[in-house]
Structure 1
Amino acid sequence: MFAVFRTGGKQYKVAKNDIIRVETVPGSSGDFVQFNEVLMIGDGSQTTVGKPLVAGASVAATLIDQIKADKVIIFKKKRRHNYRRKRGHRQPLSLLRVVDILTDGKTLDASAKDAAKSAAQANAEKSKASHTALTATTGAKRKAAVKKPAVKAAPKAAAKSAGKKPAAKKKAASKKSEE
């Protein structure tokens, strides 16, 4: 089963137990969040498309952590006017785990919330570690892509002789030997 919901001006397609990054949602780690703006629900061959929203549908999620996206550099320049401005920005995001996709006006009951909360706390460290590992690898890949390949320098003796022409034979020495 999947659902498409809207939050922060963007649409997200999710299934149960998915981890997503959305625009900042108020709350702290372990809190429950319910999104009521569900645009579409699909279950196998049956899909329900809202006009514009699916009536009585919602997506329940737990807030894992408040994080920041990668830095974006904003550089402005006007040539020949000595005008240069460099700024950076890191967008605040919320890391969410989808607990359930609810239909027909159902709500998440207390026992399901407790079970989901304990599971969220258990998985919070695991997902934080995977998120940091993911950002670390993407940063390393980015640095490796930017890094130029090393060019080996030629040995000094070979470098000196490689750039010069072979020495010309001395004519004066041969004339002296003839005399």
Structure 2
Amino acid sequence: MFAVIETGGKQYLVKQGSIIKVEKLEAEKGDKIEINKIIFLAGSNSTNAAVSAEVLEQCKGEKVIIFKKKRRKNYRRKTGHRQHLTVLRINEINLK
């Protein structure tokens, strides 16, 4: 069974045992969390379910380079950004 969940403004296809990286959640390493925002649930017409997951770690994503330039004006700015992420392991999908 698989489900499509939404967290951090993004949608993720998950099944039991899958590991995903999502936008940062306020949880410590080892905490159990429950995601109630289910968009689609395979094998069921209802979206009345919950996904329980375990926080594996809090980390940062890869660096994204932001480069701004205006030609002939000697204007150049180079900055970088690393997004904070939470790594989750999906334990089970519970039907309510």
Give the TM-score, by structure 1 length: 0.52
Q: How far has the Cα of 1:93 moved from its partner?
A: 0.4
Q: In the alignment, residue 103 of structure 1 is paired with which amino acid?
A: L
% same residue? 48
Alpha-carbon RMSD: 1.0
Q: CA offsets per residue over residues 127-159 of structure 1, 9 Å max, x none?
A: xxxxxxxxxxxxxxxxxxxxxxxxxxxxxxxxx
Structure number with higher helix proportion = 1
1:88 alignment counterpart? 80
Q: How far has the Cα of 1:24 moved from its partner?
A: 0.4
Q: 1:67, 1:17 → 2: CA distance? A: 20
Q: CA offsets per residue over residues 96-153 of structure 1, 9 Å max, x none?
A: 000110111xxxxxxxxxxxxxxxxxxxxxxxxxxxxxxxxxxxxxxxxxxxxxxxxx
Q: How far has the Cα of 1:10 moved from its partner?
A: 0.4
Whether 2:67 is the aligned partner of 1:97: answer no
1:6 alignment counterpart? 6
1:73 alignment counterpart? 65
Q: 1:14, 1:5 → 2: CA distance? A: 7
Q: 2:78, 2:44 → 1: CA distance? A: 48
Give the TM-score, by structure 2 length: 0.95
1:34 alignment counterpart? 34
Structure 1: 5+ residue runs without aligned partners?
A: 105-179
Structure 2: 5+ residue runs without aligned partners?
A: none
Q: In the alignment, residue 11 of structure 2 is paired with which amino acid?
A: Q
Q: How far has the Cα of 1:47 moved from its partner?
A: 4.0
User: How many correspondences in the alignment?
Assistant: 96
2:24 alignment counterpart? 24
Q: 1:25, 1:102 → 2: CA distance? A: 21
Q: Equivalent of 1:63, from 51, 55, 59?
A: 55
Q: How far has the Cα of 1:27 moved from its partner?
A: 1.0
Larger radius of gyration: 1
Q: 1:102, 1:75 → 2: CA distance? A: 45
1:160 alignment counterpart? none
